Amino acid sequence: MIIDGKFIGQEIKADLKNEISHIRETYTRVPKLVVILVGDNQASMTYVKNKEKGCQYVGMDSAIVRMDETTSESVLIEKIVELNNQEDVDGILVQLPLPKHINEDLVLEAIVPSKDVDGFHPDNVAKLFLGMDSLVPCTPKGMMVMLDTIGCDLTGKHVVVVGRSNIVGKPVAMLCLQKNATVTMAHSKTKNLKEVCKSADVLILAVGRAKMFNHEYVGQNAIVLDVGINRDENNKLCGDVDFDDVVDCCQAITPVPGGVGPMTITMLLKNTVEAFYSRNK
Ligand code: GUN
């Protein structure tokens, strides 16, 4: 089975569109997302545009704040504080990566946790760790929705997560643990990576290396979630998985593009609506 993230995301966006029409009738305004983009990284620009398109599709307000590559950390943080204090802004997202002279941790910490729709602020990370309600990072949240949609109950299952980033690996491991999975976190230093991966019921790949994982890494009944967005030798978009090699020897797999990616944007919209509600209680 190919897990169609575009389709699942579309269904959720249709619901969000209805919900926002309802919000429009009930409140004086609709939810608003502000995305800050520092510099002109080509991939980041594409991601930011797609986020804006997503907002427009569901009828939400959005704005992109573009700042020069040479912007100082303090000027960026001042902008964030201004948005923190703006009543009509519900979600603030600073597109990563940031230029090298800016400390990412300090910037993410400057976003008020109630508007942190990325779920990257230490308060939200702590809440996720503790199993408390919080804004959950979008890519991991999207993967959990995908597993739910295909009827995968994680109780007792072995989930192997390859990649230990703060954005994907660590939070998705925590979410799987909350669903009673047995979770293994693997990474570049893991010994016997093939064997570890092969033993997974659910294999989550988030390393950012084009087509690194072929059928030798994948068990027959495995569900494979591919978080990679890479370019192959022909400059074609591809995941961390060698899709053609794996698709016929697993239970289910997400394609790239059209898998995890579209779910991430949908969850960002959902988080912005959640932030709106919790700020308008
Ligand atoms: N860059 C790549 N992925 C992400 C993400 O999920 N959030 C932000 N803010 N930047 C990113």
* Beta-carbon contacts of residue 18 (< 8 Å; ≥ 6 apart): none
- Domains of the chain, first to last: 28-112 (3.40.50.10860), 138-261 (3.40.50.720)
Buried b (16+ CB within 10 A) or exposed e, 1-12: eebbbeebbeeb
The residue contributing the CA closest to ligand 1 atom 9 is: 95
User: Which of 35, 105, 109, 167 has the most ligand 1 atoms within 8 A of CB, as the residue to mutate?
Assistant: 167
Residue 281 has a pLDDT of 81
Per-residue tokens: 279: 């700020």
pLDDT tens-place values along the chain, 281 residues long:
999 999 999 999 999 999 999 999 999 999 999 999 999 999 999 999 999 999 999 999 999 999 999 999 999 999 999 999 999 999 999 999 999 999 999 999 999 999 999 999 999 999 999 999 999 999 999 999 999 999 999 999 999 999 999 999 999 999 999 999 999 999 999 999 999 999 999 999 999 999 999 999 999 999 999 999 999 999 999 999 999 999 999 999 999 999 999 999 999 999 999 999 999 98
Beta bridge partners of 35: 64, 93
What is the distance in angstroms between the CA of the first residue and the CA of the last residue of the chain? 41
Per-residue tokens: 235: 């400059």
Q: How many C-alpha atoms does 109 have within 13 Å on its Cβ side?
A: 9
pTM tops 0.95, yes or no: yes
H/E run at residue 6: helix 5-26
For ligand 1, residues with CB inside 6 Å are 93-96, 118, 138-139, 167
Q: How far apart are CA 158 and CA 180, in angstroms?
A: 10
Q: How far apart are CA 94 and CA 71, in angstroms?
A: 13
